[in-house]
């Protein structure tokens, strides 16, 4: 079995491990989702709540019921938003978070790749120093600092852009820049290191000896190989973009998964927490698998 096929076959096993760990770890946490009702409700009401959500059953039966529902694609009802299921809430919020993550990914690649390439081609010059300084600042400044700075400068100071909510394309600019700039700095560093390593390789020197122009050497023989570390980073980066958007979504009041995920912790909404953890674990595994496939297509050394 090839490596990419083995990785694909391993995804269901990893999802089962994540589902099992999240179920038992959350059950081991002191307290429960009905603690607030317990203070004011009678024993009959508390017993009815537990029976409705099958909390009166033995733990092993709850676990078996949960796994059976997950296999059928049912993540259960939300314990906080009791008129909605976890599937309904994810269906409403995930498209918003995916849209924000995709746009931030475009900004990260659109800024990081040219910046890293320029720094490598002008190594030791002013362009290299300027690019290195920008990437260093971008890596060191977290999103919860960069976001308020952009709000103060571009939103409140200059009045160019709205600072909250999610509606027109203008409302997406500030949160997209907040996420994209942070990861663009990382992409630029990976691209610079990859370019510098490939520029010293024998096949690049051979291409120059054949009389190819410098542009052809860079585009055909340097950039594809230099993209290997960047592509290896895309899977975890996309996951970081989505999970990192929790802070940005709360900062800019965006109706994505971030608010529900954070509120589920405070309200002990176990089904919502387990559903989101399971969703992001599946997403991370699929993205890593896709990045492996892209690596095989870009780098012939991996195919062989």
For 146-204, give the secondary structure using H, E and C. Answer: HHHHHHHHHHHHCCCCCCCCCCCHHHHHHHHHHHHHHHHHHHHHHHHHHHHHHHCCHHH
Range of the domain at 234: 90-255
Q: Which residues pair with 85 in a beta bridge?
A: 77
| Residue 304 domain-assigned (yes or no) | no
Q: How confident is the model at residue 218 (pLDDT cuts 50, 70, 90)?
A: confident
Running DSSP on this structure, what letter comes out for residue 221?
A: I
Signed CA dihedral, 298, 299, 300, 304: sign only: negative
The domain that holds 194 is classified in CATH as 1.10.3720.10
| Residue 205 domain-assigned (yes or no) | yes
How many structural domains is the chain composed of? Answer: 1
13-17, 37-41, 117-121: least confident range: 37-41
Measured between alpha carbons, how far is 197 from 217 in angstroms, rounded to an integer? 14
Signed CA dihedral, 134, 140, 146, 152: sign only: negative
| Residue 48 domain-assigned (yes or no) | no
| Residue 180 domain-assigned (yes or no) | yes
| Residue 264 domain-assigned (yes or no) | no
Q: How confident is the model at residue 212 (pLDDT cuts 50, 70, 90)?
A: confident
| Residue 116 domain-assigned (yes or no) | yes
| Residue 297 domain-assigned (yes or no) | no
Q: What are phi and psi of 139, to 5 degrees?
A: -75, -35
**pLDDT digits over 40-58, tens only?**
556 676 677 677 777 777 8
| Residue 30 domain-assigned (yes or no) | no
């Amino acid at each position: 079995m090839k490596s990419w096929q083995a990785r694909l076959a391993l995804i269901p096993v990893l999802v089962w491990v994540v589902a099992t760990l999240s179920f038992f770890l959350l059950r081991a946490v002191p307290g429960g989702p009905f603690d607030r009702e317990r203070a004011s409700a009678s024993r009959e009401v508390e017993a009815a709540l537990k029976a409705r959500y099958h909390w009166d059953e033995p733990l092993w039966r709850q676990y078996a019921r949960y796994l059976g529902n997950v296999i059928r694609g049912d993540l259960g009802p939300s314990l906080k938003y009791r008129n909605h299921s976890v599937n309904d809430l994810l269906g409403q919020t995930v498209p918003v978070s995916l849209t924000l993550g995709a746009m931030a990914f475009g900004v990260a690649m659109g800024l990081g790749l040219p910046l890293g390439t320029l720094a490598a081609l002008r190594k030791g010059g002013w362009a290299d120093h300027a690019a290195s300084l920008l990437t260093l600042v971008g890596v060191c400044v977290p999103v919860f600092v960069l976001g308020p700075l952009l709000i103060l400068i571009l939103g409140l100071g200059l009045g160019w852009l709205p600072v909250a909510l999610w509606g027109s394309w203008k409302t997406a600019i500030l949160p997209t820049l907040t996420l994209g700039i942070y990861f663009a700095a990382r992409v630029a560093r990976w691209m610079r290191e990859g370019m510098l390593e490939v520029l010293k390789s024998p096949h690049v020197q051979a291409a120059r000896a054949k009389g190819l122009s410098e542009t052809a050497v860079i585009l055909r023989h340097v950039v594809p190989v230099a993209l290997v570390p960047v592509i290896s980073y895309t899977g975890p980066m996309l996951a970081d973009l989505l999970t990192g958007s929790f802070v940005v979504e709360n900062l800019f009041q965006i109706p994505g998964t971030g608010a529900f995920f954070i509120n589920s912790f405070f309200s002990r909404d176990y089904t919502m927490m387990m559903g989101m953890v399971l969703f992001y674990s599946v997403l991370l595994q699929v993205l890593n698998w896709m990045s492996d496939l892209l690596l095989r297509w870009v780098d012939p050394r991996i195919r062989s």
